[in-house]
Homo-oligomer: A and B are copies of this chain.
């Protein structure tokens, strides 16, 4: 590994044409790299908080450090189409840093153009905006800051469960509109206590959610490929469900906590939603494309789904006429849960750490890899 990464610039073209597909992340210590970061613009908000490092202006707070080491650091929000700043910098970029909150779609075509690309880093979690198979085939390493957003997203999921079950938004609208009609809120407001909450997927975020739900005295269920360690399961107090279709009709609240893969894309279509209890509440901070967009909008309109909340859409940014913006009983926001100030500081530190290791030819923390040496991480296979 160390030898391979130490290959000089001069032999790079030779290597990339003759050696294995794992060889793109070659490296010469001390060599100047071109790093392209694609984030959302802060605009007037950029200066309001010194810890707001996740925006273009904040640039993860690593510009000074990168430039002091002789690297070039281009940061932009301009990512769509052939004239975008991302596209114009593709051909000689060594590293692209992207985020799920303003996803720079790194397609097979773009990977082909990016001849020097060694490393794709996700500032945050969730790398499905990258064509992982194409990246693997091209020998590019893909990594994210695993763990940087898990607490943020789990907290946000509990927020959304409470917003829906307690029917917060109609009350807020009344307050703003000068109204006072308790019945208009109370007739469909419930306590969370005593309800059945099921998570589809119980990875790190799902587990943190279940832990936060425990004092609410709910009936907690989880569906996943693997059952938790019995000790942990007992501590968390959730019951394992072997079959998704067996869990769905039991749940008053369903939370999606599974990555977007070929298996989960469009999983919640009309048929799957019809298996849920009438009046179910659904929270999805995972990925928008796990749901069939129109099926969700229809189920909210006909009342089968009594409330839907999440911060993920397909595509992102959501178009102005995305049906989830106007369907009844939604509590949607733009993609935000994993980019709190606290999360930004965590993923900025994680990106800096991985860049530093990359420059030194060192491995990343194992759990950060999404594509390593041509292999996809297990959750993306």
Taking Cβ atoms with an 8 Å cutoff, the residues of A that contact B are 40-43, 45-46, 48-49, 52, 54-55, 101-102, 151-152, 155-156, 158-159, 162-163, 166, 168-169, 171-172, 174-176, 178-194, 211-212, 214-216, 311, 316-318, 320-321, 324-326, 330-337, 339-344
Contact = CB atoms under 8 A, between A and B. Distances in A.
Given A183-B42, A190-B342, A333 B163 contact: no
A333 to B, nearest CB: 3
Given A43-B183, A317-B180, A340-B190, A175 B325 contact: yes
A311 B175 CA distance: 9
A376 B179 CA distance: 35
B159 A340 contact: no
A315 to B, nearest CB: 11
Contacts of A344: 186
A215 B216 contact: no
24 contacts: A40-B186, A48-B188, A156-B162, A158-B162, A159-B166, A159-B168, A166-B337, A166-B340, A171-B311, A174-B334, A175-B324, A175-B330, A175-B334, A176-B325, A178-B320, A179-B334, A180-B318, A182-B336, A186-B336, A186-B339, A189-B336, A189-B339, A191-B343, A194-B342
A178 B340 contact: no
B178 A325 contact: yes
B175 A172 contact: no
Which of A151, A168, A215, A325 gathers the greatest number of chain B CB atoms within 10 Å? A168
Contacts of A324: 175
A202 to B, nearest CB: 15
A189 B216 CA distance: 24
Contact of A340 (B175, B176, B186): B186
A163 B166 contact: no
A332 B172 CA distance: 6
Which of A40, A181, A333 gathers the greatest number of chain B CB atoms within 10 Å? A333
Nearest to A317: B180
A334 B171 contact: yes
Question: 8 smallest A-B Cβ distances: which pairs?
Answer: A171-B333, A180-B317, A178-B320, A159-B162, A45-B187, A175-B332, A191-B342, A45-B183
A182 B185 CA distance: 29
A39 to B, nearest CB: 9
Nearest to A42: B183
Given A174-B334, A176-B325, A40 B182 contact: yes
A320 B176 CA distance: 9
A101 B181 CA distance: 10
A190 B346 CA distance: 12
Contacts of A212: 215-216
A166 B333 CA distance: 11
A49 B194 CA distance: 18
Contact of A333 (B185, B191, B193, B343): B185
Contacts of A185: 333-334, 336
A377 B4 CA distance: 79
Nearest to A182: B40
Contacts of A102: 182
A41 B181 CA distance: 8
